[in-house]
Structure 1
Amino acid sequence: MSFLDTLKQKASEARTMLTTEIAKFKNKEFMEACVAGCALVAAADGSIDSAEKQKMMKFIQQSDELKVFDTKDVIDYFNKIANNFEFDHEIGKAEALKVIGKLRSKPDAARLMVRVCCAIGMADGDFDENEKNMIREICRDLGLPTDDFGL
């Protein structure tokens, strides 16, 4: 391999790595909002069911925008949010809503995040009123009509 070919290969590798890093930075806010929303919905009925965790992870892994994130990073962030609930439910709720609130200026992202939350609420087969009420609160906080989500 010539010196020029080596240089081209190194430049290509650097460009690929930079693109991946930009994608992570660009979508980190959305990933964190999805995880925070999922934690809010999962905690609404008093416990965080494993089916809800699995549904969230499956969505993150299948999303073109979010699959750049390492599963460990998603789990770590989910645990961080969940720990706030364990310390104090209202503090956990306030912290999660603060993270979600960052999507107010991005209505398309906010709508998708709410749809993810609805899917998480249904994941355990019982989309109860506590979970629906939590999603209604998320919608109010984001300025989204609850009717758009069948709530």
Structure 2
Amino acid sequence: MLEWLKTNATAARDKLTTEVSKFRNQKFMDATTAGCALVAAADGDISSAEKSKMVGFITNSPELKVFDLKDVINSFNDHCAKFEFDQQIGRAEALKVVGKLKGNDGAARLLVRVVSAVGASDGNFDDDEKAVCRLICLELDLNPADFDL
């Protein structure tokens, strides 16, 4: 009986920790998917390589692995849909979400590294994608030169 209580208490605590982590990192998840959509749409085409790179990052990221992959993909697809509706609206909405990380230097820098990796995932980190990454840096009050942009 005591062992059952210990096991269930640990499981309940672990579940609670995961739920709290999701709440704390929701802003980072949303900003990451918005930034990925910005970079993926920079060249006018969101390639399967860019989508795969984003999914790979998410499944390996300690900050995002607490999220259901389906939720992350849905968030990314929601941002992409705004670009499909209107490029300017999609861009403005995505930048607004990315800007919520301003002031959190660690998260902002990680976001720039992620979106740069997504941009380069198709083997061609072109000038349009680099320009979007620079724009993201400026939105976050980061120096693009720190990321070789």
Query: What TM-score do you get using the length of structure 2 for normalisation?
Result: 0.96
Aligned partner of 1:106 among 104, 107, 118: 104
Equivalent residues in 2 for 1:70-81, closer than 5 Å: 70-81=68-79
* Cross-structure match for 2:143: 145
| Cα distance in 2 for residues equivalent to 1:111 and 1:10 | 38
Aligned partner of 1:43 among 23, 41, 44: 41
Structure 1 residue 103 displacement after superposition: 0.5
Higher radius of gyration, 1 or 2 = 1
* Cross-structure match for 1:12: 10
| Cα distance in 2 for residues equivalent to 1:26 and 1:53 | 24
Once the two structures are superposed, residues 33-81 of structure 1 have per-residue CA deviations (whole angstroms, 9 ceiling, x without a partner) of: 1111010000000010000000011011111121111111111001110
Aligned partner of 2:60 among 39, 48, 62: 62
Give the 4+ runs in structure 1 shifted more than 4 A. Answer: none
Query: What TM-score do you get using the length of structure 1 for normalisation?
Result: 0.94
User: Percent identity between the aligned chains?
Assistant: 58
* Cross-structure match for 1:97: 95
* Cross-structure match for 2:23: 25
SS at match of 1:143: coil
Structure 1 residue 7 displacement after superposition: 3.0
Structure 1 residue 128 displacement after superposition: 0.9
| Cα distance in 1 for residues equivalent to 2:62 and 2:99 | 23
Aligned residues: 149
| Structure 1 residue runs without a partner (length 5+) | none
Once the two structures are superposed, residues 3-39 of structure 1 have per-residue CA deviations (whole angstroms, 9 ceiling, x without a partner) of: x433333322211110110111111111111111010
| Cα distance in 1 for residues equivalent to 2:51 and 2:139 | 23
| Structure 2 residue runs without a partner (length 5+) | none
SS at match of 1:44: coil
**What is the RMSD of the two structures over their aligned residues, measured on CA atoms?**
1.0
| Cα distance in 2 for residues equivalent to 1:125 and 1:143 | 28
Equivalent residues in 2 for 1:130-141, closer than 5 Å: 130-141=128-139
